[in-house]
Amino acid sequence: MTDVLRVEDLSVAFHTRGGVVRALDRVGFAVEAGQTMALVGESGSGKSVTAYAIMGLLEAAGRITGGRAFLGDTDLVATPAAAMARIRGKRIAMIFQNPRAALNPIRGVGKQIADVLLRHGGATRSNAWDRAIDALRAVGIPDPSRRAKAYPFELSGGMCQRVMIAIAVAARPELLIADEPTTGLDVTTQAVVMDLIGEMARDTGMATILITHDLALAAERAGRIAVMHAGHMVEEADTASLLAGPRHPYTARLIAATPTAAGSLESLQSVPGGLPDLRSASIPHCRYAARCERSVPGCDAVLAMRPVADRHAVACWNPL
Amino acid sequence: MRAVLFRLAGALPTLCGVVLVTFLLTRVLPGDTATYFAGPTASAESIAQIKASLGLDLPLYEQFWRYIIALVHGDLGMSLTTGQPVRMELLNRLPASAELTLCALFLAIGIAVPLGVLAAVRQGSWIDHLCRIVATAGVSLPVFFTGLLLIYVFYFLLGWLPAPLGRLDAFAMAPHAVTGFYLIDTLLGGDVETFRAAAAQIVLPAGTLALFALAPIARITRASMLAVLGSEFIRTARASGLSSGTVVLTYALRNALLPVVTVLGMVFSFLLGANVLVEKVFAWPGIGSYAVEALIASDYAPVQGFVLTMAVLYVLLNLGIDLLNRAIDPRARRGA
Ligand SMILES: Nc1ncnc2c1ncn2[C@@H]1O[C@H](COP(=O)(O)OP(=O)(O)OP(=O)(O)O)[C@@H](O)[C@H]1O
Ligand SMILES: [Mg+2]
């Protein structure tokens, strides 16, 4: 299968008053066309930073210090800002958590969709509004011609996330990055929103990166899972093999920490220890070593992802 | 429309309060009208006579009652210094003040808003530093000082601009009054030369006032833009690949204008106050200089009329700000 996105050795540093934060270190993964890949890891592991770096949306303090991110043949890292603005929204789109805050509060939602259609979707001034209404209908918003005139504060969180999805898929991108798209929504709405994303992806052949710290959600929705820890990629595999046989101790801990319908709550264990300080000059090669019960003397050697089975790679000197 | 009437009705108690307070204040202020007009050599008898003729010997509540009755009939009394009805004089002079204040405000907005926007978009650049300097200088220089400084530089040293002697120099003819604004009336009359003369006269006083208004507008625009540019919906707009022009102007600036409009209301009311000084410095025949002269002469009626006019302007101004906010913000529209 061809890859829509191939990220290689992506490194990002933030220059802060407290020092340089090496938030991403040589992160690599690939997303196949039409596939849903989940990017999981606990809070602060660098999932969002990875997405922003790929999109060219890092804030001013953040710099990509190395690596490539190929969208088809285009290296997004090397693409100048003005050209990136024409790729964003057209070939690669993104939706965020907290959809109501992610929409312009004083612009009607129909106009916000029309803005994107005018920019990328080949719409004209005369048909942009009608096409925006069509887009609202396509994401299952009832009475779309009336809702198009509504402002975000007049819509529920779930409706706002549908609008966000309509904006993101307006120009039929090859890849959608969904950064915790269901955080802050109630459980039934979460399922509806995830179904909608899956449906849009199937209909348009779009690939999806689902960013979440919820391994259960990832297992349910994604064909492939990449696990991040403290700015490192630690394991990447097809969902079934990752869940059945995790090779990285951190992945095993994450799986143990995930509630399942069958398992009782007592068996839930959180991952012990905390993330290392990414500002220090001498971060160990394995950023998990300090928290790891399997660490051995050889763990302080230079570490990289290496294949351990078919379509299964891990970065560990002492894998399970 | 109903909201407008509601607001106006809500302002009535305020206006009543203003009427009462100005009446009392003018009575307790030092200086005695009758003595002033009788002159230094007058006898106690003639002073008493003048007092009686002005109704100043009546008890205070009786004076107030007469004042209210007249007010209800639209009569603001007579100016003792000029012998003219106050209402007529205020109406004659109001356009001069309004033209000056509005020119200053538009000048200030025209400079401060782009400056604040650029400072926020290019944070840390030279334009950001310029913005900071303007914001500091604007608040630390008093109006009369900048006024005199500008006169010194542009009239006295450089000779680029005419003497600060009012709206037109002595030889020019005032245009036929349509709006009362010389800059508009001259153009309506097709008189470009007088327009130039009027523009040359208004540049310095309007510039002085504008310098004063620049600082708060630039500062709030920059701060508000920075806050909006960091917000999540701007990230969405960027993630959708909208052009940076659309992101900054359509998405960020419109949101950032909400606090700016609120501050504009405040700045405008400061300007109304600063006007009094600037009109004095530039011999501008507006209502501010009129009120100052009357105050010095202990001439009550013009002072009361002036304060009342200001209060009405202030109410209208707040109404205007409210309407502007509603036009920008759908939440304010649907909320009420
Ligand atoms: N503006 C910034 N300045 C300094 N460091 C930053 C900045 N933004 C992110 N980081 C660093 O990058 C790390 C990863 O952040 P990121 O937001 O990608 O985490 P995440 O995996 O998305 O977590 P969450 O699940 O909470 O969203 C943070 O721990 C922090 O150290
Ligand atoms: Mg995140």
**Per-residue pLDDT tens over the stretch B84-93:** 888 888 898 8
Ligand 1 center to A21 CA (angstroms): 10
Average pLDDT of chain A is: 90
Tell me what pLDDT residue A118 has: 93
Cβ distance B175 to B185 under 8 Å? yes
pLDDT higher than threshold 60 for residue B22: yes
pLDDT at A261 (0 to 100)? 57
- Residues A280-300 have a mean pLDDT of 83
| Number of structural domains in chain A | 1
- Identify whether A13 is part of a domain: yes
> Which protein residues have a CB closer than 5 Å to ligand 2 (ion)?
A 48
**Measured between CB atoms, which of B232, B240, B331 is closest to A89?**
B240
Contacts of A120 in chain B (CB under 8 A): 241
Higher pLDDT pick, B70 / B172: B70
B232:A96 CB<8 A:
yes
- Whether A286 is in a domain gets the answer yes
Instruction: Decide if pLDDT at B1 tops 80.
Output: no
Residue A232 lies in a domain: yes
- Chain CA centroid to CA A209, Å: 5
Which region among A116-120, A189-193, B23-27, B132-136 has the lowest average model confidence (pLDDT)? B23-27
A178 versus A184: the higher-pLDDT residue is A178
Domain presence at residue A21? yes
Chain centroid to Cα A282, Å, comes to: 28
pLDDT at B251 over 60: yes
Which residues of chain A neighbour B329 with C-beta distances below 8 Å? 106
Determine the Cα–Cα distance for residues B231 and A102; give it in Å rounded to an integer. Answer: 8
Work out whether strand A92-95 and strand A175-179 pair parallel, antiparallel, or are unpaired.
parallel
Taking the centre of ligand 2 as the mean of its atom positions, its distance from the CA of residue A256, in whole angstroms, is 22
Mapped onto helix, strand or coil, the DSSP state of residue A200 is: helix
Q: State the sign of the Cα–Cα–Cα–Cα dihedral A65, A69, A74, A76.
A: negative
Q: Where are the domains of chain B?
A: 2-59, 86-335
Distance CA B263, CA B220 (A): 8
pLDDT digits (tens, 9 = 90+) for B152-195: 888 888 878 887 878 887 777 778 777 888 888 888 888 888 88
The answer to whether position A52 is within a domain reads: yes
> In the structure, what pLDDT confidence band is assigned to residue A58 with cuts at 50, 70 and 90?
very high
CB-CB under 8 Å, A85 with B242 = yes
Residue A65 CA to residue B33 CA, distance in Å, equals: 80
Q: Model-level pTM?
A: 0.85
Arithmetic mean of pLDDT, B129-146: 82
Q: Is residue A64 part of a domain?
A: yes
The pLDDT-based confidence of B254 (bands split at 50, 70, 90) is very high
pLDDT at residue A264 tops 80: no
Query: How many A from CA of A240 to the centre of ligand 1?
Result: 28
With contact defined as beta carbons under 8 Å apart, do A276 and A284 qualify? yes
C-alpha to C-alpha distances, A16 to A13, A102, B235, nearest whole angstrom? 9, 26, 21
Rounded to the nearest angstrom, the distance between the alpha carbon of A14 and the centre of ligand 1 is: 10
Compute the distance between CA of residue A40 and CA of residue B215 in angstroms, rounded to an integer.
48
User: Could A96 and B240 be called an inter-chain contact, meaning their C-beta atoms sit closer than 8 Å?
Assistant: no
The pLDDT score that the predictor gives to residue B163 is: 78
> Could you tell me if A129 and A186 are in contact, meaning their C-beta atoms sit under 8 angstroms apart?
no
Q: How far is the centre of ligand 1, averaged over its atoms, from the C-alpha of A136 (Å)?
A: 33
Q: What are the φ/ψ torsions at residue A8 (nearest 5 degrees)?
A: -130, 125
Question: Is A270 within 8 Å of chain B by CB?
Answer: no
In whole angstroms, what is the distance from residue A21 CA to residue B119 CA? 27
Taking only residues 17 to 56 of chain A, the set having a beta carbon closer than 8 angstroms to any beta carbon of chain B reads 55
Q: Which residue of B has its CA nearest to A108?
A: B330
Q: Among B235, B244, B255, whose Cβ lies nearest the Cβ of A57?
A: B235
CB contact under 8 A, A107 and B244: no
Is residue A294 assigned to a domain?
yes
Q: Say what the pLDDT of residue A319 is.
A: 87
The share of chain B scoring above pLDDT 70, in percent, equals 96
Using the predicted structure, report yes or no on whether residue A62 has a pLDDT greater than 60: yes
Measured between CA atoms, the residue of chain B closest to residue A160 is B233
The Cα angle at residue B49 between residues B47 and B50, in degrees rounded to 5: 65
Q: Is A278 in the pocket of ligand 1 (CB under 6 A)?
A: yes
Which DSSP letter does residue A22 get? E
pLDDT of residue B142: 80
| Domain encompassing residue A236 | 3-80+218-261+268-314
- List chain A residues with CB under 8 Å of B236: 96, 102-104, 164, 167
* pLDDT of B336 strictly over 60: no
pLDDT score recorded for residue A74: 93
For residue A35, report the phi and psi dihedrals to the nearest 5 degrees: -90, 155
The number of the ligand nearest the C-alpha atom of A94 reads 2
Q: Which of A102, A151, A153 sits opposite B236 (nearest CB)?
A: A102
Q: Residue A17 CA: which ligand is closest?
A: 1
Kindly identify the ligand whose nearest atom is closest to the C-alpha of A15. 1
Q: Residue A28: CB within 6 Å of ligand 1?
A: no
Give the confidence band of A292 by pLDDT, cuts at 50, 70, 90.
confident
Inform me whether the pLDDT recorded for A233 exceeds 90. yes
Cross-chain Cβ contact A106/B330 below 8 Å: yes
Q: Residue A62 in contact with residue A23, Cβ under 8 Å?
A: yes
Quick one: pLDDT at residue B302?
87
The whole-angstrom distance between A125's CA and the closest CA on chain B is 15
Q: What are phi and psi of A257, to 5 degrees?
A: -85, 0
> What's the mean pLDDT in B320-332?
88
One of 3.40.50.970, 1.10.3720.10, 2.30.42.10, 3.30.310.10 is the CATH number of B86-335, namely 1.10.3720.10
Mean pLDDT of all residues in A74-98: 93
Mutate to test the interface with A, among B240, B258, B260 (most CBs of A within 10 A): B240
Instruction: Name the residue in chain B with its Cα closest to that of A85.
Output: B241
The alpha-carbon radius of gyration of chain A (Å, integer) is 20
Does the structure show a pLDDT above 70 at B10? Answer: yes
Look at residue B18 in the predicted model and tell me its pLDDT. Answer: 83
Q: Which A positions 282-301 lie with beta carbon below 8 A of chain B?
A: none
Contact A41 CB / ligand 1 (< 6 Å) = yes
Q: Is the CB of A276 under 6 A from ligand 1?
A: no
Instruction: Using CB atoms within 10 Å of the CB of residue B42, give its burial: 0 to 12 exposed, 13 to 18 middle, 19+ buried.
Output: middle
In a domain, A76, yes or no: yes
- The CATH number given to whatever domain includes residue A307 is 3.40.50.300
Q: Would the pLDDT of A235 be above 90?
A: yes
The pLDDT of residue A75 is 95
Contact A269, A256 (CB under 8 A): yes
Structural contact between residues A139 and A196, judged by C-beta atoms closer than 8 angstroms:
yes
pLDDT score, position A1: 64
Residue A103 DSSP symbol:
S
Q: Which amino acid is at B2?
A: R
Check if A61 has its Cβ closer than 6 Å to any atom of ligand 1.
yes
* Type and span of the H or E element at B128: helix B126-140
Q: How far is B279 from chain A (nearest CA, A)?
A: 40
Residue with CA closest to ligand 1 atom 22: A48
Percent of chain A with pLDDT over 70: 96
Strand partners, A11: A66
Which residues are A63's β-sheet partners? A13
Picking from A207-221, B12-26, B28-42, B103-117, which range would have the lowest pLDDT averaged per residue? B28-42
Tokens at B276, concatenated: 């009094």
Banded pLDDT at B31 (limits 50, 70, 90): low
Please check whether residue A164 touches B, CB under 8 A. yes
Residue A116 CA to residue B237 CA, distance in Å, equals 9
Mean pLDDT on A131-156 = 93
Name residues whose C-beta falls within 8 Å of residue A87's C-beta, 6 or more positions apart in sequence. Answer: A71, A74, A76, A79, B241
pLDDT in tens, B266-284: 888 888 888 888 888 888 8
Q: What is the ipTM of this complex?
A: 0.89
* pLDDT band, residue A24 (cuts 50/70/90): very high
Own/partner long-range contacts of B129-134 (Cβ < 8 Å, ≥24 apart):
B131/B218, B131/B219, B131/B222, B134/B214, B134/B215, B134/B218
Ligand 1 atom closest to the Cα of residue A213 is: 25
Pairwise pLDDT comparison (B294 vs B56), residue with the higher score? B294
pLDDT at residue A54 in the model? 96
Measured from the CA of A45, which atom of ligand 1 is nearest? 21
Interface of B with A in 220-279 (CB under 8 A): 231-233, 235-244, 246, 250-251, 254-255
A266: pLDDT strictly greater than 60: no
- In ligand 1, which atom is closest to the CA atom of A211? 22
